[in-house]
């Protein structure tokens, strides 16, 4: 209930808030503009102070959050019910090619003392890793996760700079 939020806890143009995307940076209003931006991941957001909403502006996805006075609550997207079919496709994308190659080398095993007898197993594992990598990359791109900025922040912290 927005009425329950005291005025100081409200999402308003002068405030500074945690970034709902990277969960590391802070978002503040950009000077002379109607938008908020994160100083860490550089994402840009449009605002609706009346409804206490923050919407990601530089993404094709309708990502929206509601400010409850302390933190951001993600608002479920309409495509949420597609989740299961995506999950099944993702698993099939990894399992099927791996299974086909694994089955091939199982049905037609190499001669045990041939110099390339390690290749079928290696190829099966490589197929699995390559497809897993494709999927992870898609997820990172889909949610616009600032993965390289995370690595840079971790490195900065380790180096102590």
Residues that bind Zn ion (CB under 5 A): 19, 21-22, 25, 38, 40-41
Shortest CB 155 distance to Zn ion, Å: 18
Specify the residue, 21 or 101, whose C-beta has the smaller distance to Zn ion.
21
Shortest CB 20 distance to Zn ion, Å: 8
Residue with tokens 């994402």: 43
Specify the residue, 54 or 101, whose C-beta has the smaller distance to Zn ion.
54
Please check whether residue 117 is in contact with residue 110, taking contact to mean a CB–CB distance below 8 angstroms: yes
Specify the residue, 22 or 56, whose C-beta has the smaller distance to Zn ion.
22
Shortest CB 42 distance to Zn ion, Å: 7
Shortest CB 53 distance to Zn ion, Å: 17
Strand partners, 66: 53, 73
Per-residue 3-state assignment (H helix, E strand, C coil) for 115-150: CCCCHHHHHHHHHHHHHHHHHHHHHHHHCCCCHHHH
Coil, strand, or helix at residue 94? helix
Rounded CA-CA distance 14/156 in Å is 29
Coil, strand, or helix at residue 90? helix
Specify the residue, 19 or 54, whose C-beta has the smaller distance to Zn ion.
19
Specify the residue, 61 or 134, whose C-beta has the smaller distance to Zn ion.
61
Q: Please spell the DSSP secondary structure of 11-42, one letter per residue.
A: --TT--EE-TTTSSSEEEEPTTSSEEEETTT-
Shortest CB 22 distance to Zn ion, Å: 3
């Amino acid at each position: 209930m927005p009425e329950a939020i005291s005025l100081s806890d409200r999402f308003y143009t002068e405030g500074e808030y945690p970034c709902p995307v990277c969960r590391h940076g802070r978002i503040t209003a950009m000077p002379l503009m109607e938008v908020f931006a994160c100083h860490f991941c550089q994402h840009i957001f449009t605002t609706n102070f009346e409804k206490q909403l923050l919407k990601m502006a530089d993404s094709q996805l309708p990502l929206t959050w509601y400010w409850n006075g302390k933190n951001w609550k993600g608002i479920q997207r309409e495509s949420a019910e597609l989740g299961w079919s995506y999950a099944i496709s993702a698993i099939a994308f990894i399992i099927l090619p791996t299974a086909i190659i694994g089955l091939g080398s199982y049905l037609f095993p190499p001669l045990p003392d041939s110099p390339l007898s390690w290749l079928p197993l290696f190829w099966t594992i490589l197929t699995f890793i390559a497809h897993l990598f494709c999927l992870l990359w898609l997820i990172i791109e889909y949610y616009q996760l600032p993965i390289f900025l995370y690595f840079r922040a971790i490195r900065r912290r380790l180096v102590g700079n």
